[in-house]
Structure 1
Amino acid sequence: MKLILTATALSLMASTALAETTITVQYAYPELFDTTQNEMVKAFEMKHPDIKVEFRSAYKDYEDAAQRVLREGITGNVPDVTFQGLNRVRVLADKGIAVALDDFIAAEKDFNAAGYHEGMRQAGTVDGKVYGLPFAISLPIVYYNMDLVKKAGFDENSLPKTWDEIVALSKKIKAGGEADGIGTEWAITGNWLWQAMVFANGGTMLNADESKVAFDGEAGKKAIGTLASLVTEAQSPDMTPNEMLAAFSAGKIGVMVTTTARVNAVTKQIGGKFELKTGNYPDLQEGVSRLPAGGNVAMITAKDKAKQNAAWEFLKFATGPEGGAIMVKTTGYMAPNNKAADLLKDFYTENPNQAVALSQLPYLTGWYAFPGDNGLKITDVIKDRLQSIMDGSRAEEADAVLADMAADTQALLPRR
């Protein structure tokens, strides 16, 4: 008896034979990336029917992401692809958990022509090797409730350019009695806004050989003085990030300083209750100021070669033009891929609040990761010290807090 297979049956068998590689993917901040990842995987699987993507439960934030993968690296239970904060590439590379991507890149015909230019690749590079491809890039910006701003006597042509002007505007909004003047997401993951304040003043976290704290210099003193003034002068409320976002979206805070990544979500939460406008980070000085690139990279942690190859295909798609365009349209991040940016020209024209951060790209620098086994602990120490400023308990002694923070950090640095 002969077995006759129809074209449909042959096609079905071929597709079944191809659908053999399943990769697990895990990412942080579900409130920002759930929609993005789901849409991206649908588009990816249509182009790659031989690869199935399964999600693990999302990480809470980048600290959670790094800590969980470090623990899983010991037990051998890491996901195949992990999206990690730009400041956590170093620790996963140092621990041998992340897979170097240089051989994959070298095997591509023309990687740079696909929009992966060298500058952005540096964000995922450690000791000369590439361990992650940048997926979503953010910079700090300022959000304004223009209804409250106009009542305070300002308009879109007179928005603040300095921290002093922001404090002055915030005091006027507070005096109006309808809302608090300002909120800052100072506790955001990885001391990101603290770094932004120091870097914008021309400072660094450590000295050149990473043996000594440097954020306690003039740049750091100015930065912590600014934070203190938000509490002592502008009466910024002590809120968690989620509380601040909810209050701003409800029209209860006039000015908010945080990442551009939240533009899409905040716009939806506002829902037309008031006019939203975004503005540049304050006190930027050409030739002096820098701003840390926030966001995350896609990394391969799979040990099986077949899964690594499948994971590489997913990384290329997620960080390429199509994945980048999906990410931008569903968040507020910027795409590090040049060709994705080209696809989004009309989108940025129609969504000027998401375009503001693009003008700050000349100031972009790396999101610093402290060296050694205590890198994550240092992040917590700095956050705890800043809390004493922002809750008002030590806002009147900002320099003393900075000195304590520097001493705590110095004690946790690797001994040389």
Structure 2
Amino acid sequence: MNRETTAMIDRRTLHLAAASAALFAPRVLRAQPVTEITVHYAQPVIYKEAYDAITAEFAKREPNIRINYVTTVNYEEGMQLILRQAATGSMPDLSYQGFNRLRLFAERGIAQDLAPLLAREGDPAQHGYSPQMLALGHFGGIQSGLAFAASNPICFYNPDLVRRAGGNPDALPTDWDGIIALSAKIKALGDGIEGMHYAWSSDDWMFSALLFGHGGRMLTEDERDIAFAGPEGLASLVLLDRMVKEGGMANLSRDAAAQAFAAGKMGLFFWTTAMIRGSLQQVGRNFQLRTTGMPIIDAQKGRLPTGGAAGMLITKEGPRHEAAWKFLRFSTSPEGTSLMARNTGYVPTNQLAIDEDKYLGEFYRQNPLYVPATQQMAISIPWYAFPGANSVRVTQSVVNNSGRIVEQRATPQQALADMATEVRRLLPRPRG
């Protein structure tokens, strides 16, 4: 074989080897573009660990979607943030708002209707979106949000102080008469110990817990007038007055009360189930934290408000719209809502996470503090959303007049009358 023939064979061998290598070599994929979305949520003191866990799990499924978070201290500031940004066109793609604020965004055309997006994936119930949970985010004739986290008010208590005051920590009173009497006995222990705190000062949620507990409602069914100024509303403020006069409840802010409770200086603290995780961390080894349900007021008509947040899609179209929808869907899926529940104290809002033992069954068996809120969901109704542009001012009127009672500057009758006058003035004028 001459040199020329050998060279031809070598060249042919190289070509075949190159072709074979190209055939069997792994394909080099083009890098997929990264879509960045901005997501807003309120109350990072409660939610941060939950969103961190959800984001980490979501990144495994959608590595080409990057989440940038914007947070606000509370839902009210979150609402104001979105309204300000709406005027400048710089809103986030997705915002998790309090249930009672979705109505405003729906009426102003900021919240996008999620019904078509849900419909393209089939029956929503098959994915765990029950009619009851969908109703929490249905305002203005559209599906303005998907429920992410739900809560209802519960009682946190210190069993050591209950026991010292002669109570039974394994069987707390189930009515307000018994609770108020127990609070007075705990306060009588002295040494700066407080009997109870009812967290009235943040918004209208805890007032509505008393109002709904009596079977009352905020506005008439046609929403043309107030309904809270009747006997149910008066009974609610009388009960708040009794907490102060008979139960010895001090005029403390919610944060000051939470600090006193965590330090072992308060017996009973009525607030949202969402604070379970945070309360456990604050209490530490000071005492063994326990929880129980709200006292029963009207066994037949009594209800409780559902607090919490829903994800509201703002971006209208394009890659960011699809990316934000994917994140919203995951955060409200059985997996996402389970991560939320484990890292807060909120009740899961996806029915599959509630019904199927594989998601949270073992968690609830090992964490009984979280159970009372789940048991109260059967009597929980939506947190009422006042109509019109003055909803925040309406809420503040409720808080201010409740505060006058706690400060003992007004009787329940006076506070209710003033509240009724103020809220009537702030409601939209009826047409026709």
- Tell me the TM-score normalized by structure 1: 0.94
More deviation, 150-159/74-83: 150-159
Render the CA deviation track for 1:299-328: whole Å, top value 9, x for unaligned. Answer: 101133221111111111000111111111
The whole-number CA distance in structure 2 between the counterparts of 1:245 and 1:369 is 27
Work out whether 1:242 is the aligned partner of 2:250.
no
Identity of aligned residues (%): 36
1:48 aligns with 2:48: no
Which of 387, 390, 394 pairs up with 1:378? 394
RMSD between aligned alpha carbons?
1.8
| Structure with bigger gyration radius | 2
Q: Tell me if structure 1 keeps the 8 A contact 2:153–2:272.
A: yes
Q: Secondary structure at the match of 1:293?
A: strand
Rounded Cα–Cα distance in structure 2 between residues aligned with 1:65 and 1:323: 22
Distance 1:81 1:61 in 2: 16
Query: What is aligned with 1:279?
Result: 292
Question: Gaps (5+ residues) in structure 2?
Answer: 1-17
For residue 61 of structure 1, what is the amino acid of its counterpart? Answer: N
Q: Is the alpha carbon distance of 1:301 and 1:273 closer, same or farther for their aligned partners in structure 2, counting shifts above 3 Å?
A: same
Runs of 4+ residues deviating >4 angstroms:
2-9
Distance 2:25 2:278 in 1: 47
SS at match of 1:332: coil
Moved more, 235-244 or 321-330: 235-244
Q: Which sits farther off after the overlay, 126-135 or 259-268?
A: 126-135
Tell me if structure 1 keeps the 8 A contact 2:39–2:67. Answer: yes
Distance in 2, Cα, partners of 1:403 & 1:383: 14
CA distances 1:348-374 after superposition (whole Å, capped 9, x unpaired): 111111111111111110100111111
Cα deviation per residue 1:64-93 (whole Å; 9 max; x = unaligned)?
A: 111111121121111001000000110000
Number of the residue aligned with 1:351: 367
- Residue deviations 1:144-167, cap 9 Å, x none? 100000111111343011111111
The match for 1:38 is 52
Q: Give the drift of 1:7.
A: 6.4
Report the Cα distance in structure 2 between the residues aligned to 1:242 and 1:272, rounded to whole angstroms: 20
Q: Is 2:313 the counterpart of 1:300?
A: yes
Q: Distance in 2 between matches of 1:370 and 1:273?
A: 41
Which residue does the alignment assign to 1:262? 275
Q: Spell out, residue by residue over 1:104-128, the C-alpha distance to the aligned partner (whole angstroms, 9 max, x if none).
A: 0111033321111111001101143
The whole-number CA distance in structure 1 between the counterparts of 2:23 and 2:176 is 73
- Post-superposition CA distance 1:172-217 (Å, at most 9, x none): 000011410001111233x100011100000011111111111111
- Matched AA of 2:330: F
Equivalent in 35, 55, 63 of residue 21 of structure 1: 35
State how far apart, in whole Å, the 2-side matches of 1:7 and 1:407 are.
Answer: 78
Paired position in structure 1 for 2:182 = 169
User: In the alignment, what sits opposite 1:366?
Assistant: 382
Q: Secondary structure at the match of 1:278?
A: strand
Task: Summarize the Cα distance change of 1:6–1:257 in structure 2 as closer, same or farther, 3 Å threshold.
Answer: farther
1:328 and 2:358 correspond: no
Matches within 5 A, 1:202-217: 202-217=215-230
The answer as to whether partners of 2:129 and 2:350 remain within 8 angstroms in 1 is: yes
**Aligned equivalents of 1:287, 1:308: Cα separation in 2:** 45
- What is the CA distance between 1:287 and its match in structure 2? 2.7
